[in-house]
Amino acid sequence: MAGKKVEFHEDAALEYEAALEWYLERSLLAASKFVDAISRGIDMIVEAPHRWSAASHDTRRFLLQRFPFAIVYRELPAAIQVLAIAHVRRKPGYWKQRR
């Protein structure tokens, strides 16, 4: 069975790009591992979107293992919508107003 398509909220895409840029400025290896961690996380979410606990605003949160980020997402009828690539130690819940 094919998984749902993944849609990034515009602000989530900007957060991803900003985090990647930060890692690229410090280490090409760290940046590559960050990209891999996000990709693996997205793949796991698509495979089983209900695996992670439900949170507020019909969202779920996938925590990256080696980076201080979470993929905040919600399941829509036709897609998985990534609402935030949220740094877990900064401004909790700032993304809650995103639609």
Q: pLDDT, tens digit, for every residue of 5-62?
A: 999 999 999 999 999 999 999 999 999 999 999 999 999 999 999 999 888 889 999 9
Asked, for residue 6, whether it belongs to a domain, the answer is no
pTM of this prediction?
Answer: 0.88
Pair 74, 59: CB distance under 8 Å: yes
CB atoms within 10 A of CB 20: 17
Asked, for residue 8, whether it belongs to a domain, the answer is no
Number of domains into which the chain is organized: 1
* Domain assignment of residue 68, given as a range: 18-87
- Which of 41, 97, 43, 32 lies closest to 70, judged by CA? 41
Report H helices in 1-99. Answer: 10-26, 28-47
Asked, for residue 64, whether it belongs to a domain, the answer is yes
Asked, for residue 45, whether it belongs to a domain, the answer is yes
Asked, for residue 12, whether it belongs to a domain, the answer is no
- Which of 32, 19, 9 lies closest to 82, judged by CA? 9
